């Protein structure tokens, strides 16, 4: 089980045998994250930019 | 006098038609909507059925110039900047309800709305808030009407920032807004089971109207006034209540606040000061102004926190948009400011 | 374990009965209401019909002591101070939902509620906010539950005032509240045509809950924390959203705020941090917690104004009153804090 932190809210995220470019969602803030680096059991994520939904703008 | 409404499909467009229909000095001669071209106005605005026998048309500059003296732009931001310049060029008077020409600074515009296609026109329009720009509106040719939340916040704040020493860096504006302010486009967030019963903080920082509120208040006071704005959607259709929190840097008593409000708005027929000792509606509440062009303002002094709380209530579609546009037209033509607008709201 | 509810006619009384009915370790043995003595509980609380075959009785200390181990006081302020001391004297455990014993300072009490009849008992009750006083609640005998608005404001503010340098003199709390918070007494202001569709600023300064919010936050931080509170009635029945505006005196980034919230509430099962990138309910909204004991908290950073906005949403009858009271009982008995409370709200 590899671990990393969400770049947006610093939540701890665990993924079983992560794959580069795999996309997951942060369980706490819902940010869409992409696995960009895996070193041993350490994962590095980057945020997949979403088109900002602006309800009722 | 002949008037046209461009982009009349939306709620502000429909509200303009409602108000113009009963205006003694104008006739609506031209109404456009890309989506509903060829259809009668009443099919889109049911309250106008059988009253306004006009059909929507596709927009065309020469038709507009041939059929109208005045044009109200009720199109979304970004569209107006394409059309309005063409109308001005053919000598039409334009009252723009979009945000495209409200701001004087191109940079501020870019920050909130993205790049402007016709930056050279910024600052050319008069900011259509009669309570602050009555003189300049007389005889004006091009007016940009304020945003709905900006209208209620500015009217509430103007007398205070120009009369009292407050912390100009820490003015909180906490706004509660009805669903009609989000416009006619339906999406997941306006789905009835999702929209009913919410107290939904939808734009808690960086709300677009911050720019025009700061522009107008800073202009009034002659120094930078910052506004910390937060907007919430609440379970009403029409109506905005802005709650403004000022931190006082000098002792102020109630009479002085009354005086500041009264003198600032002595010649503003649509601003009512509401601060009653008895009754249910002691302080401003949108429910008391729905359907009218009134802006009710009131206040309370909080000595424990040397805080002054101002309340400002409007109907976002009337004083916050279409009613204010008609009010501007009256001033541009030199007519009585209240012409066609002097009616009470619906209550309860 | 046998429990009684004194003054069970009101909405908080009814909500207590609803929650206690499904609580695995308690049995409701005694329910009083002066007005409805002799009537079955279901005649006053229709949701309980056929479920709780109990009749209201007149209050009587010996009956209470004979039939119960725990008593929930759901009587108005001012009444509890007459009855609660008698219950304590006969060795009953009391959870008081009124304001009578929340404040430690007699002077503060007098300022907001008038003179206290039993001032010597002030400070004897544990302030029933588990998120701040979990340890003290274990094994406690006398608990005073917080006000509904105080609950949502304190839970929102606690991690911020204890983690960051903010202007402690200028904290604005702008609350939006449902009609059930005003209680069961009908009057002109709660008449449906008058209460529907309002955004009514009803207590804009000097709201009673200011005292307990300041008491708890100042106690937490070890210096005077002032709170500038304003309350508005909005068109929902259950629910409170508190919007807290803090002016930062040091740079703060989003991760630090997340961290402050997480660490402060790491052992608080009923506090959820809500700050989503996607979806309709990105930030706390009472609609997402109605009927549950959750308090959703979220935030946004406003760098332009060095402001931190915190949102805190609860159901005023559950986490803001009866649910919190049951949560306190669980802790007093050393049970799992979520016992009988671990259910989701109703949605939509």
Q: Tens digit of pLDDT for each residue in B86-131?
A: 999 999 999 999 999 999 999 999 999 999 999 999 999 999 999 9
In the block, tokens 């003296």 appear at: B69
Strand order in the sheet with C142-144: C27-32, C2-6, C70-73, C93-96, C142-144, C126-127
Q: What percent of chain B has pLDDT over 90?
A: 99
Note the pLDDT of residue C190. Answer: 95
Alpha carbon of C230: minimum distance to chain B alpha carbons (Å): 8
Backbone torsions φ then ψ of C91, nearest 5 degrees: 85, 15
Using the beta-carbon criterion (under 8 Å), do B187 and A55 form an inter-chain contact? yes
Say how many C-beta atoms besides its own lie within 10 A of residue C120's C-beta. Answer: 9
**Is B202 in CB contact (< 8 Å) with chain A?**
yes
The rounded mean pLDDT for chain C is 97
Using the beta-carbon criterion (under 8 Å), do B302 and C206 form an inter-chain contact? yes
Closest residue in C to B309 (Cα–Cα): C204
Average pLDDT, consecutive stretches of 10 residues, N- to C-terminus, chain C (348 residues):
97 97 97 96 95 95 97 96 97 98 97 96 97 98 98 98 97 98 94 96 96 98 98 98 98 96 98 92 96 98 96 98 98 98 94
Residues of chain A contacting C278 with CB distance shorter than 8 Å: 30, 32, 50, 53
Closest residue in C to A6 (Cα–Cα): C255
| Statement: residue A56 has pLDDT above 90 | no
Across the interface, of C199, C226, C285, the residue whose CB is closest to B176 is C199
Using the beta-carbon criterion (under 8 Å), do A56 and B179 form an inter-chain contact? yes
Residues of A engaging B, defined by a Cβ cutoff of 8 Å: 54-57
How far is B239 from B317, CA to CA, in rounded Å?
8
Using the beta-carbon criterion (under 8 Å), do B182 and A55 form an inter-chain contact? yes
Residues of chain C contacting B300 with CB distance shorter than 8 Å: 204-205
Across the interface, of C258, C278, C280, the residue whose CB is closest to A9 is C258
Among the listed residues B155, C278, B124, the one whose alpha carbon sits nearest the alpha carbon of residue A51: C278
**Is B229 in CB contact (< 8 Å) with chain A?**
no
Tell me the average pLDDT across B240-245: 98
What CATH number does the domain located at A2-47 have? 2.20.28.160
Residues of chain A contacting B202 with CB distance shorter than 8 Å: 54-57
Using the beta-carbon criterion (under 8 Å), do A29 and C279 form an inter-chain contact? no
- Chain Cα centroid distance, residue C86: 24
**Is B182 in CB contact (< 8 Å) with chain A?**
yes
Residues of chain B contacting C210 with CB distance shorter than 8 Å: 304
How far is C79 from C83, CA to CA, in rounded Å?
7
Tell me the average pLDDT across B308-334: 98
How far is C151 from B4, CA to CA, in rounded Å?
53
Q: What are the angstrom distances between the C-alpha of B37 and each of B7, B59, B65, B146? A: 10, 9, 18, 28
Q: What percent of chain B has pLDDT over 70?
A: 100
Note the pLDDT of residue C255. Answer: 95
What positions of B carry a catalytic annotation?
Answer: 148
Helical (H) or strand (E) element with B283: none
| Statement: residue A57 has pLDDT above 50 | no
Q: In chain C, where do the E strands start and end?
A: 2-6, 27-32, 70-73, 93-96, 126-127, 142-144, 172-177, 199-203, 228-234, 240-247, 271-273, 295-302, 307-314
Residues of chain C contacting A28 with CB distance shorter than 8 Å: 258, 273
Note the pLDDT of residue A49. Answer: 75
Note the pLDDT of residue A50. Answer: 62
Note the pLDDT of residue C278. Answer: 82
Residues of chain C contacting B196 with CB distance shorter than 8 Å: 348
Note the pLDDT of residue C277. Answer: 84
Closest residue in C to A47 (Cα–Cα): C277
Structure tokens at C269: 């099962």
Distance, first Cα to last Cα, chain C:
35
Which tens digits make up the pLDDT trace of C121-134?
A: 999 999 999 999 99
Would you list the domain boundaries of chain A? 2-47
Note the pLDDT of residue B278. Answer: 87
**Is C276 in CB contact (< 8 Å) with chain A?**
yes
Closest residue in B to C167 (Cα–Cα): B170
Across the interface, of C255, C278, C279, the residue whose CB is closest to A10 is C255
Across the interface, of C198, C204, C307, the residue whose CB is closest to B228 is C307
**Is C253 in CB contact (< 8 Å) with chain A?**
no
Alpha carbon of A26: minimum distance to chain B alpha carbons (Å): 21
Is the preceding peptide bond at B348 cis, omega within 30 degrees of 0?
Answer: yes
| pLDDT band at B6; cut points 50, 70, 90 | very high
């Amino acid at each position: 089980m590899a671990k990393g932190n969400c770049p947006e809210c610093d939540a701890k995220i665990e993924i079983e045998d992560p794959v580069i470019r795999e996309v997951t969602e942060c369980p706490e803030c819902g940010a869409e994250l992409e696995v960009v680096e895996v070193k041993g059991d350490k994962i590095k994520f980057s945020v997949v930019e979403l088109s900002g939904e602006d309800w009722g703008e | 006098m002949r008037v046209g409404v461009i982009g009349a499909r939306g709620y502000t467009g429909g509200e303009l038609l409602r108000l113009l229909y009963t205006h003694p000095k104008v006739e609506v001669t031209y109404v456009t909507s890309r989506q509903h071209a060829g259809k009668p106005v009443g099919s889109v605005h049911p309250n106008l059925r059988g009253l306004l026998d006009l059909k929507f048309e596709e927009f065309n500059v020469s038709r507009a110039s041939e059929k109208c003296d005045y044009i109200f732009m009720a199109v979304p931001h970004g569209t107006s900047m394409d059309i309005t310049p063409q109308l001005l060029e053919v000598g039409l008077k334009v009252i723009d309800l979009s945000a495209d020409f409200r701001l004087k600074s191109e940079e501020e515009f870019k920050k909130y709305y993205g790049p402007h296609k016709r930056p050279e026109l910024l600052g050319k329009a008069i900011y259509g808030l009669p309570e602050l720009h009555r003189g300049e509106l007389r005889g004006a040719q091009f007016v940009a009407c304020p945003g709905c939340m900006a209208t209620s916040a500015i009217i509430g704040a103007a007398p205070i920032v120009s009369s009292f020493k407050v912390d100009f860096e820490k003015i909180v504006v906490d706004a509660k807004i009805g669903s009609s302010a989000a416009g006619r486009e339906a999406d997941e967030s306006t789905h009835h089971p999702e929209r009913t019963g919410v107290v939904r903080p939808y734009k808690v920082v960086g709300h677009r109207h911050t720019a025009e509120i700061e522009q107008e208040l800073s202009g009034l006071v002659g120094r930078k006034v910052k506004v910390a704005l937060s907007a919430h959607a609440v379970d009403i259709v029409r109506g905005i209540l802005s709650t403004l929190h000022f931190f006082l840097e000098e002792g102020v008593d109630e009479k002085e606040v009354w005086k500041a409000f009264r003198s600032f708005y002595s010649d503003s027929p649509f601003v009512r000061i509401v601060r009653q000792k008895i009754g249910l509606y002691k302080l401003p509440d949108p429910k008391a102004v729905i359907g009218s062009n009134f802006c009710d303002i009131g206040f309370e002094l909080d000595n424990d926190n040397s805080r002054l709380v101002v309340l400002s209530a409007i109907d976002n579609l009337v004083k916050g948009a279409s009613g204010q546009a008609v009010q501007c037209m009256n001033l541009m033509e030199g007519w009585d400011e209240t012409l066609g607008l002097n009616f009470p709201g619906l209550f309860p």
